[in-house]
Amino acid sequence: MKLTNIALLVAAVSCIGMTTVVEANSLKSARGMAVHSNGSEVIGTIFMNKYGYSPLTAVIDIPSNRHLSNVKVTVLGKDEKGIDISYDVANSELLHHSGIPVFGLYADFQNKVKIDWKEDGKNRSHTFNMRTGGVKFTPEAEARTSYMLGEVKVEASKKFKDRLYLVDGFGDGAQRSIVSHNNPQASGAGLWDRSPTLSIYDTNGDLRWYMDYQAFRDANHYRKTGYVMGLKQVGKDLVWGAGQAYHRMSLMGEHVYSRDLPGQYADFSHDIHHRPNGNMIIRVAKKDYINEVGDRVTTVRDHIIEVDPQGKVVHEWNLNKILDNTRDVTLLGLDMGAVCLNVDADHANQTASLEQLKNSPYGDLPGVGAGRNWAHVNSVTYDENDNSIILSLRHQSANIKIGKDNEVKWILSAREGWKGELAKKVLQPIDNKGRKIECTAKGKCPNPDEFDFTWTQHTAYIGKGSGKHNFNLFVLDNGDGRFNEQPIMPEDKYTRAVEYVIDQQNMTVKQIWQYGKERGYEFYSPVTSITEYYPDKDSNLVASMSTGLYAGKTIGKILEFEHGKDKPSVEIWVHGMAPGAPGYRATIVTPPFNQ
């Protein structure tokens, strides 16, 4: 017994003595069981995918007794043509992560990450090795690849070399939700569900980030299923909607919130817009809605709500009351093979009859009246100049501005089918000299290269230089149902980006730029896609995201132009994983760590 006590005492004294000679910041045992090396611990432990949802990120831990500043991160390109991703890190970000956020690693690769910093008055630098694993998407049975592959078609000019494109794609073969909408009479769009492939590509076409959505998604929970749409970068975070909820998460994978759609609203899809005051404009539908004939239905893509930062509804736009939900001229000319993402190649280039539109079942089907897909609003944005929303209504081939008083300000559309007061809000096309262009009621204009309307368009966003008088509108004109009819030859269809200037006082519209018509059917996207103006580089983003859909070889074609130029400064093709799996949209992201 005495010998044992002496041994314990010696051990204790030895431990006490050890702490007096070993530096405090190298007490490995305080971190538990781990493998350590001087090479990886130049600053601190490296945590790969620290927050669980972004596998191509990492955080380099900073011990509390060290004080770093002027931190710069550079993820080095992996070969001669590889693109460096480089950004400064604000001190507030170092405090928030208790370390250095690393973003933009390559998948399944031994990455080289150079960190420059200042410490104890000295400039220091070290290049770390960071190994990543393979991409975790669940391929579909007929998938050609395990994730979307990028291909450079136009090498980026120096001005655009550092661009990063976030692609919201479909093609993950994971389990569909077993949760559907709870109204069996009219399910609305509640059955829309598919796990997304959210990925970021650099201008070399390389994958540099993706979200492990399966780690976030729950096929058995209504709040965590649905098509991911409207994905945008808002400050440091990504914001999107899906099914019966909307979500916010940082690019590092920190989950900020998931919120149910409020009240009786349901079936988010397509778009969500973030205002400078923190409010959000969300495209939804309405549950338990009594329609014109007294039936209780779930409406389809025809309500817009504004919610404050706490999720409280502050305004509603009910398009069934504001517009004419019986206008059918566009619906009669739709290609039934692709009614947005309800893709059925067997019905390509076929149209529906008026009888079918009037008597189709309630739900997510083309038809007139509340409870059917008569409007199909696929984009929303907000004009802070006059507190109005701008909408793209695919199934009306119309772009419409509506005020907070729920009054229509103007309609950019062919005249056919608009009645009463709404007919007075249809804009008059003019040429560059201000002279009227006389187009037919169906929208056929004398010189389509000078002026044309948009047809089953996606996204109607605010363009460069918009003001209270002259409003610039930038639209992705998909081009299906042009002139509210189907062409004799399907290959005559084309998709274009188009920019208009609208004189909001004189109610005229002038076309000032377009791209895509010259590329013909090769650039045609029957559904999805986006255009957007970016002031940071004075550029137009154009993404035709479902080219080749009917051929089963979907390619998203992402281009960026200096504003007003006719040739792209960069063009990247993103190849779909599987047949019939298009990209939805693309958007530009920037590393948000210097704020």
* φ, ψ at 521 (rounded to 5°): -65, -25
> Is residue 337 within 8 Å of residue 401, measured between CB atoms?
no
From residue 38, give the alpha-carbon distance in Å to each of 33, 446, 573.
Answer: 16, 73, 42
Given a contact cutoff of 8 angstroms between Cβ atoms, the answer to whether 56 and 106 are in contact is yes
Task: Let me know the angle formed at the C-alpha of 234 by 133 and 342, rounded to the nearest 5 degrees.
Answer: 75
Euclidean distance between CA atoms 448 and 446, whole angstroms: 6
- How far is the C-alpha of 477 from the C-alpha of 340, rounded, in Å? 13
| Phi and psi at residue 7, to the nearest 5° | -60, -45
Task: Classify residue 278 by burial, with Cβ atoms within 10 Å: 0-12, 13-18, 19+.
Answer: exposed
The catalytic site residues sit at 458
Distance CA 259, CA 310 (A): 10
- Are residues 337 and 264 in contact, defined by beta-carbon separation less than 8 angstroms? no
d(CA 348, CA 338): 7
Helix (H) or strand (E) holding 16: helix 2-19
* 52 CB neighbour count, 10 Å cutoff: 12
Read off the tokens for 352.
């529906």
> Rounded to an integer, what distance in angstroms lies between the CA atom of residue 169 and that of residue 576?
8
Pair of tokens at residue 54: 């972004």
* Structure tokens belonging to residue 338: 């692709």
Quote the CA–CA distance of 545 and 554 in Å, as a whole number: 8
Place of tokens 């010998």: 3
**Order of strands across the sheet with 245-250?**
228-234, 237-242, 245-250, 255-260
Give CA 188 to chain center in angstroms: 23
Residue linked to tokens 């007490």:
27
Indicate the SS3 state at residue 214: helix
